[in-house]
Amino acid sequence: MERTAEPDWPAELHGVFRRARVAHVSYVPDAGHTALIDRCIADADMLTTVLTTEEEGIAIAAGAWLGGTRSAILMQSSGVGNCINMLSLPVIARVPLLMLVTMRGEWAEFNPWQNPMGQATEASLRAIGVTVLRADTARDVVETVDQATTMAYDGDQQIAVLIGQRLLGKKQW
């Protein structure tokens, strides 16, 4: 049986951002997002902001939307816990929000400190009112993020796409 090559999902996600007219990307540096972050930084039509903490990205995304700019936030599941209170802003004000969350505390996790928030990420986001979608393969992540852009920007929804740790691979330290 011939195996089909997996798509270069970070490159394809950058294309999804471009087609959805995402002009601003905020992020906390994360190995799982590195290739996408690098593509966004290299894109002359995208503004990128390095965050000192994830909840800053929520406020920046809301401000960008009020200024007429579509924004996305890239973070790790450990940062979701930092955002819970701030997420009330886009949920209550119905500000479109797109978050791509690389998961920790799952597949072959070596760091026990990542487990509690990794296990609570989805439930925490749902409890505050954020719609959660999940992708565990390269093909799924592209299709899922594409649909999430429609839901967020055309439907004024708050969407988090959880990118499974198995897709990212085992961390090596």
pTM score, whole prediction: 0.92
Mean local confidence (pLDDT), 90-113: 86
Give the separation between CA 8 and CA 14, rounded to whole angstroms: 10
Question: DSSP E strands: which ranges in 6-151?
Answer: 22-27, 47-50, 70-76, 97-102, 131-135
In this prediction, residue 115 carries a pLDDT of 72
The model's pLDDT over 73-97, given as tens digits with 9 standing for 90+, comes to 999 999 999 999 999 999 999 999 9
Please, what are the domains in the chain? Answer: 9-168 (3.40.50.970)
pLDDT tens-place string over residues 12-34: 999 999 999 999 999 999 888 99
Model confidence band, residue 164 (pLDDT cutoffs 50, 70, 90): confident
